[in-house]
Amino acid sequence: MKIVTVVGARPQFIKAAVVSEELRKYFDEVMIHTGQHFDYNMSEVFFDEMNIPHPDYNLGISGGSHAEMTGKMLIEIEKILLDENPDLVLLYGDTNSTLAGALSAVKLHIPICHVEAGNRLGTLDNPEEVNRILTDHCSKILCCCTKSALEFLEKEGLGDRATLVGDPMYDAFLKYSEQVGDEIPEKLFDLDGNEEKVPEKFYYLTCHRAENTATIEPLSEILSAMEELDEKCIYPVHPRNQKMVRELAEKHNFKNIIFCKPVGYMMSVYLVNHAKKIVTDSGGLQREAYFARKQCVTIFDHIVWPETMTEKRNQLSKPSKEEILRLLDEKVSFENYDYPFGDGKSSEKIIEVIKKSQNLE
Ligand code: UD1
Ligand code: UDP
């Protein structure tokens, strides 16, 4: 049985690292990298560090409007699917690469397995929500990370295609946390390529959502909050907002923030596990904060991962200096910790679900 996997963005490489390893024990995998993320430290570093097999195709498609990017991907993925004639297409998450994979496959009547299915914000203003809903409705096999995601799918009449498998991000986090341990795994470089020292105590910030970076005000507020903290803040800057960050850094001369290039996954795992607290707008990072039992403030209007939000462990904030600082100041406990993201074996469960769907069990 042949499976074509479509990936393109940083979080998808991390999920594919653990799922592909399991998948390749039983199936032939052909991997398409759309090219959506392309800088070394947004793409190749993950393939190198996590031993992900080199993609069979790299489409080199990135940037432009959503329609431009998705449209170009759609055309190129279709050609490959016609050529490869797979039994299944495997997709992750909610990026434009995911949507392009889904539309290409469903129109060719190729069954789709969607991993990380069912999360819902309740607004089509968010581009990832559109990608998620459309991909879910095009897919034959829906693998949910959490019970709440499964329930959303049941409400949408998709329950019979859905299975709760747990979160492959959790599999990856457990595996690589053990590997990384307490050693700093790689050097940190500022935006000009100069080495930065990793402080013993620090906060970890990431911010890349369109909602927080389309104009300069939200980021300006977020950075002003970080500047006030009692320890340094490490901020690997996503390429989307490096220009804006440089402008703000020049204007405000921040002393407490270490602006650096995006780091590899090993380093990110180290930063999560050793941070005092985490501030982010990333779907992945807010889960990792929970996995590592770190208090998190998520700069976003909508709940994506309700399971992380129990007992104020992860709280939503507007991009407002006062609100971020107030929430970070609250006392949070990780006693009574439960495991809503599975047991670290979701990759195996995904493969079982695929086998079952093909009557291979
Ligand atoms: C995308 C996903 C988002 C995901 C994020 C992970 C969509 C709609 N959004 O957002 O769900 O959370 O990836 O990080 O698919 N760029 C570079 N170098 C790179 C990567 C990007 O310069 O290696 C530039 C692009 O050219 C573009 C901008 O950054 O101008 C934004 O990239 P894009 O892939 O469109 O969106 P992300 O913000 O990365
Ligand atoms: N991450 C990384 N390097 C960085 C920032 C984040 O490896 O410089 C990892 C992080 O640990 C998490 C994933 O990237 O596993 C999250 O990806 P991102 O925030 O880009 O996307 P999202 O999860 O929001 O879709």
> Measured from the CB, is residue 96 less than 6 Å from ligand 2?
no
Q: 37-59, pLDDT tens digit by residue?
A: 999 999 999 999 999 999 999 99
Which residue owns the Cα nearest ligand 1 atom 1? Answer: 95
Question: Does the pLDDT at position 360 exceed 80?
Answer: no
Q: Summarize pLDDT for 164-223 with one digit per residue, the tens.
A: 999 999 999 999 999 999 999 999 999 999 999 999 999 999 999 988 999 999 999 999
Q: Which residue owns the Cα nearest ligand 2 atom 7?
A: 265
The yes-or-no answer on residue 274 being catalytic is no
pLDDT class of 359 with cuts at 50, 70, 90:
confident
Does residue 262 line the site of ligand 2, with CB under 6 A? yes
What are the E-state strand segments in the chain? 2-7, 28-33, 57-58, 88-92, 112-115, 141-144, 162-164, 188-189, 195-196, 202-206, 232-236, 257-260, 278-280, 296-299, 314-317
- Specify the pLDDT at position 361: 60
CA-nearest residue for atom 6, ligand 2, is: 268
User: Average pLDDT in the 132-138 region?
Assistant: 98
What whole-number distance in Å separates Cα of residue 46 and Cα of residue 52? Answer: 7
| pLDDT score, position 358 | 83
**Within 10 Å of residue 165's Cβ, how many Cβ atoms?**
25
> What number is the average pLDDT over the span 240-247?
95
Its pTM stands at: 0.97
Mean pLDDT of 143-170: 98
**Separation of 263 CA from ligand 1 center, angstroms?**
15
Atom 27 of ligand 1, nearest CA residue = 63
When pLDDT is averaged across residues 96-100 and rounded to a whole number, the result is: 98
Expressed in angstroms and rounded, the spacing between residue 9 Cα and the centre of ligand 1 is 7
The average pLDDT across 252-262 equals 97
The answer to whether 122 and 302 have CB atoms below 8 angstroms apart is: yes
**Cβ of 8 less than 6 Å from ligand 2:** no
Predicted confidence band of residue 75 (pLDDT cuts 50, 70, 90): very high
Q: How many CA atoms lie within 13 A of 342 on its CB side?
A: 25
Q: What mean pLDDT do residues 26-39 have? A: 98
**Nearest residue (CA) to ligand 1, atom 26:** 63
Among 268, 271, 291, residue to substitute to test ligand 2 (most atoms within 8 Å of Cβ): 268
128 lines ligand 1 (CB under 6 A): yes
User: Can you give the pLDDT at residue 159?
Assistant: 97
Residue 284 CA, closest ligand 2 atom number: 23
Residue 168 Cβ inside 6 Å of ligand 2? The answer reads: no
d(CA 43, CA 84): 24
Q: 264 alpha carbon to ligand 2 midpoint, in Å?
A: 9
Residue type at position 324: I
Q: Is the pLDDT of residue 259 over 80?
A: yes
Q: Is 197 left (phi over 0), alpha (psi -120 to 50) or beta?
A: beta
Nearest ligand, CA of residue 265? 2
Q: Which amino acid is at 119?
A: N
Domains of the chain: 2-167+342-357 (3.40.50.2000), 184-328 (3.40.50.2000)
C-beta of 9 in contact with ligand 1 (< 6 A): yes
Distance CA 10, CA 299 (A): 20
Average pLDDT over residues 335-357: 95
Catalytic annotation, pick one of 33, 37, 114, 208:
208
63 in contact with ligand 1, CB cutoff 6 A: yes
Residue 122's Cα: distance from chain center in Å? 19
Return the structure tokens found at 54: 């080199």
- Percent of the chain surpassing pLDDT 70: 99
Ligand 2 in contact with 132 (CB < 6 A)? no
